[in-house]
Amino acid sequence: MVEVVVFAVAAAACLVGAIGVVLSRNPVHAALMLVMTLFGIAVLFVAQEAHFIAAVQVIVYAGAIVVLFLFVIMLLGVDRAAELSLDALPAQRWTAAAFGLGGAAVLVWLVAAVDRLFKGAKSLALETAGAASAGAGSEPTDYVADVSVLARSLFSDYVYAFELTSLLLIVAVIGTVILARRSYGADQHGADGRRADQHGADQHIDASESASTGTTSEAGR
């Protein structure tokens, strides 16, 4: 009973948030709706006894990623309601609708397939779960086991994937720093870039390109 209520409330929060992200005209409101969806998913994780994943969901997604979204929205000053009557790419709406419907169809198919799979493999799944809890030597709902199991698989079976992911993140950070770093030898370009922002996207790209070449020459020196 309690589980059904929790699921209903959390799922409703997820759905309302997701629809709100699409329908909000104000980017900040859309980001807040996204936070609502993320919180709903975190509650669903807690309902599944995946406490650690729920905490990470809140800390990383709600606490860091959407905050960065908001930073970008606020600092770029695009926090005005979008003008929807002028559409540069009229075809994108139809394309988006087609892709959305296709995605929904794939999702329904996946759920049905997984459901069929699990109906057949239910006894097997229960068996392995029992074996795992017997191996851990404690009751299966004990949470400490949950974290240590996660850590063990992350740092033993999947250690290469884990390390490669962190390497990828470092590469991304360094790349961002190099692209975003204002080159002090090329202050003129930087100012051009800012002015061009108001004129048009093409000029802006040109200016930032020249600014970035300035950066590379500076770095090469």
Query: Which residues sit at the interface with another protein, rule CB under 8 A?
Result: 26, 28-29, 32, 35, 51-52, 54-56, 58-59, 62-64, 67, 70-71, 74-75, 79, 142-144, 146-147, 184, 218-219
Nearer residue to another protein within complex by CB, 67 or 117 = 67
Cα radius of gyration (the chain): 24
**String of b and e for 21-60 (b: at least 16 CB within 10 Å)?**
beebeebbebbbbbbbbbbbbbbbbbeeebeebbeebbee
Q: Nearest approach, Cβ of 53 to another protein (angstroms)?
A: 10
**Helix, strand, coil abundance in the chain, percent, nearest 5:** 85, 0, 15
Smallest gap, in angstroms, from Cβ of residue 182 to another protein? Answer: 9
Nearest approach, Cβ of 60 to another protein (angstroms)?
A: 9
Q: Which tokens is 71 given?
A: 């930073």
Output DSSP code: residue 185.
G
Look up tokens 């859309």; give the residue.
Answer: 30
Residue in this structure with the two tokens 């051009």, named with its chain if needed: 192
Which residue type does 50 have? A
Nearer to another protein, 58 or 149 (CB): 58
CB of 58 to another protein, least distance (A): 4
At 127, list the tokens: 């068996």
Shorter beta-carbon distance to another protein: residue 127 or 142: 142
Q: What is the DSSP string of 43-70?
A: HHHHHTT-HHHHHHIIIIIIIIIHHHHH
In the complex, what is the shortest distance from the CB of residue 15 to another protein, in angstroms, rounded to a whole number?
20
What are the tokens at 24?
């909000």
Q: How far is the CB of 104 from another protein (least distance, A)?
A: 30
Residue 191 CB neighbours (<10 A)? 12
Q: Nearer to another protein by C-beta: 14 or 62?
A: 62
Considering the complex, state which of residue 14 and residue 42 has its C-beta at the smaller distance from another protein: 42
Residue type, 159: V
Output 28 or 206, the one with its CB closest to another protein. Answer: 28
